[in-house]
Amino acid sequence: MKWLKAAADEIVESIKLSIEELNMSEVEKLIELLLKARDEKIFTVGMGRSGFVARSFALRLMNLGFNVYFLGETITPAAEKGDLLIAISGTGTTKMVLTASSAAKEIRAKVIAITSFPESPLGHLADLVVTVKGRTKAGLPREEDYLARQIIGEREPLTPLGSIFENNCMVFLDSLIVELMHRLGRTEVDLKRRHATLE
């Protein structure tokens, strides 16, 4: 299990570093927007594994009593001016996320980007960027880059593709939920009252 343990160590170190490197004024603005949006609608969006992180966060916001939806699910209503879209994309280039974010901007909903790359298309489009570090290299490797780096000895993470970002992002958002719980004066029992019972 040498590789399993090495990968777990790498993930844990990466999570710790990504929390330390958060820009807390970005996070404070995010919290303000979330607390102000309690009478509006909040939408989260992401594709693939970032989408699962976006759904996990939406589920906890629902537990907390927010009016929240994951984009693409059945009962997602119309977004309106003043609503929030929380767009999660490590690279900030995911096509479907950009399409939704542009649509949100057009109707004057606010877009919050959670990404490793504030200079990405998503970062440029967003009203607020919260930078969550992922891989140290920009973007996913193209095949030729990957081989080049192996030759010159640059280190790639053990976990493939966006895994580092996704784990960092998951822990960041779960920690943010705890911060929100305390600011709102909510306990776990409050959350449990809203937790799915038929499944």
**Shortest distance, position 137 Cβ to a second copy, whole Å:** 11
In the three-class reduction of DSSP (H, G, I as helix; E, B as strand; rest coil), residue 131 is classed as strand
Q: Could you tell me which of 105, 11, 91 has the C-alpha nearest to residue 48?
A: 91
**Is residue 184 at the binding interface for a second copy, with CB under 8 A as the rule?**
no
Q: Which is nearer to a second copy, 21 or 119 (CB)?
A: 21
- As annotated, the active-site residues are 166
Q: Which residues ranging from 107 to 126 are in contact with a second copy (CB under 8 A)?
A: 107, 109
Contact 109, 79 (CB under 8 A): yes
Structure tokens that stand for 56 in this block: 């996990």
Which residue of 103, 127, 128, 139 would you call a contact of a second copy, by CB under 8 A? 103
Per CB under 8 A, the segment of 7-15, 32-40, 120-128 that binds a second copy is 7-15
**Is residue 152 at the binding interface for a second copy, with CB under 8 A as the rule?**
no
**Is residue 128 at the binding interface for a second copy, with CB under 8 A as the rule?**
no
**Is residue 41 at the binding interface for a second copy, with CB under 8 A as the rule?**
no
Q: How far is CA 110 from the centre of its chain?
A: 15
Q: Which residues ranging from 155 to 174 are in contact with a second copy (CB under 8 A)?
A: 156, 158-161, 163, 166-167, 170-172, 174
The CA distance from 5 to 22, in Å, is 26
Per CB under 8 A, the segment of 16-24, 32-40, 112-120, 121-129 that binds a second copy is 16-24
The CA distance from 109 to 123, in Å, is 16
**Shortest distance, position 58 Cβ to a second copy, whole Å:** 5
Q: 162: number of CA atoms within 13 Å, CB side?
A: 24
Q: Could you tell me which of 122, 28, 127, 47 has the C-alpha nearest to residue 82?
A: 127
**Is residue 151 at the binding interface for a second copy, with CB under 8 A as the rule?**
no
The CA distance from 113 to 101, in Å, is 9
Number of residues located near a second copy, criterion CB under 8 A: 87
**Shortest distance, position 33 Cβ to a second copy, whole Å:** 16
